[in-house]
Amino acid sequence: GGGGGGGGGASGGGEAAAAHKVAMSPPGGSPLPRRPQLLPVPAADVLYAARHSLLREVRHAAAAVATPRGPQGTAAEAAEAARRLGALRLWVSALARGVPRAVDGGLLARGLAELEVEMDAWEEADLPGEQQWAGMLQRAGISEPSGSQYLSEAATRLVMCTSAMPARHGYPCSLWLLFHTLLAHASPEHAPQTLEAILRYVDVFFSCAECVAHFRSLALHLSPPPAAAPAAGA
């Protein structure tokens, strides 16, 4: 038999609508609190952060390596150099394992694999200098997207992290998405190493001092999350 919009005999879409109303409107008329909506992470934002970290943040640190530090250097300077170099090696490896591949056909992932080989062969005790680092990136095909064949337009623009203040919002926002993606994609055996790579990247290379302070305040509570859905376009 037929049923009205709120009738108990409604079928098809009416039953679905009624079930929805029951779920959202418990006795008393107050709607149930909504669960947080899990949005897919835009792969373009993740690739932007990975590329920016190497082309800008690491390059800035590499430029500082050329600063004179005396003919021999102190033990403290040697330890700091080893800390920087170790952080970079971990970061490149984590990126090579975890960046999305679908949106750019795996182009950045292949470049990162080549860069990882170069870093493994690097025999100096500190970061490559600015020109050496630029050469490594060029040989790996990792370059600024504008005016190059690096990525399609869809993979070079921020999607979720667009901002009128990109220095404060665009890159930091996309970097947080990158961290999430790297951990979500990490296999159980690589998850601890990936988390260490993230922590050390923030400590050594991230130029937003306010962001670093906030991140450090949370670092003691961080642990690798369970496997999650991949980034959209991954």
Per the DSSP assignment, residues forming a β-bridge with 232 are 42
Higher pLDDT, 113 or 43: 113
CA distances from 165 to 41, 148, 153, 213 (A): 21, 25, 21, 20
Please report, rounded to a whole number, the percentage of residues in the chain having pLDDT higher than 90.
Answer: 41
Greatest pairwise CA separation for the chain in angstroms: 94
Question: 88 CB contacts (<8 Å, ≥6 apart)?
Answer: 58, 119, 127, 204, 205
Q: What is the pTM of this model?
A: 0.70
Q: How confident is the model at residue 147 (pLDDT cuts 50, 70, 90)?
A: very low
Instruction: Report pLDDT for 42.
Output: 80
Q: Which among 190, 214, 188 is positioned nearest to 202, based on CA atoms?
A: 214
Alpha-carbon distance of 148 to 107, in angstroms, equals: 13
Per the DSSP assignment, residues forming a β-bridge with 42 are 232
Please report, rounded to a whole number, the percentage of residues in the chain having pLDDT higher than 70.
Answer: 63
If one counts every other C-beta atom within 10 angstroms of the C-beta of residue 175, the result is 26
Is it the case that residue 114 has pLDDT exceeding 60? yes
Mean of the per-residue pLDDT values of the chain: 75
Task: Pick the range with the lowest mean pLDDT from 44-53, 82-91, 138-147.
Answer: 138-147
CA distances from 33 to 22, 23, 27 (A): 13, 10, 14
For the chain, domain boundaries: 43-65+77-220
- CB 155 within 8 Å of CB 103: yes
